[in-house]
Amino acid sequence: MQTTRDMGFSQLYDDYFARVYNYVRYRVEDAATADDVVSGVFERILGKMDTYRPERGPLDAWVFAVARNGVNDHFRSRRWRSWLPLDLLPERASREPEAPALLEEEETRRALTVALRGLDDRERDLLGLRFGTGISNREIASMTGLTESNVGVILHRAVKRLQAAMGGTGGGE
C-alpha cells in the first residue's frame, strides 16, 4: 500500500521532472550524465521530503536548490577526470529523408554546447534556471541571493555572449 509520503513524492516527481531535467541538461554535457544527475536529485528529494518547510520558501526554490546541489556535486566529483561525451562523437550517416534537418539540428546543438562552455558557472547556472525550468528572475534571485535586476543583467549578457559565439544565430532572446 502506498503511503501519503509516497503519493506526495509521486506527484512532486510528475510535476517537476521535466523542469529539473531541463535545468540539469543545461548544466551537463550529455544526456546520459543528465539522466544520472536527475536520478540522484530525485533520490535526494525523496530522502529529504520531510525536511521541506513551506514557511521557509516555495517548493520550487527547495526543489531547484536540491537540483543545483546535485549538479555541483557532479562537477566536484569529476574535477580530476577528463573525458569526451559520447554524443560529441560522429554518428553514422543516415539514409533517412529528414537526415539533413537532423544533421543541422545536431550541429546547432553541438555549437550551443561549445558556446555554453565559454560561459562561467554562474552564467550557465542562471541560464539553466531561467530557460531550463522556466522560473522567473525574481525566483532565481531568491534562490541565489542576487538581486532581480542583477539576475536580468547576467542573463542578458550571457544570452548575448551565446549569440555572438554562435555567429549571431539563435532567433533572438
**What are the residue ranges spanned by the domains of the chain?**
1-79, 98-173
In the structure, what pLDDT confidence band is assigned to residue 105 with cuts at 50, 70 and 90?
confident
What is the model's pLDDT at position 89? Answer: 47
Q: Which three cell numbers stand for residue 46?
A: 525523496
Is the pTM here over 0.75, yes or no?
no
Comparing 1-79 with 98-173, is the CATH topology the same? no
| pLDDT over 90 (residue 166) | no
In angstroms, the CA 116 to CA 123 distance is 9
Task: Grade residue 85 by pLDDT with cuts at 50, 70 and 90.
Answer: low
Average pLDDT over every residue of 67-92 = 67
Mean of the per-residue pLDDT values for the chain? 81
* CATH top class, domain 98-173: mainly alpha
Domain at 1-79: CATH code: 1.10.1740.10
* Residue 100: per-residue pLDDT: 67
Q: Under 8 Å CB-to-CB from 33, ≥6 apart: which residues?
A: 74, 85
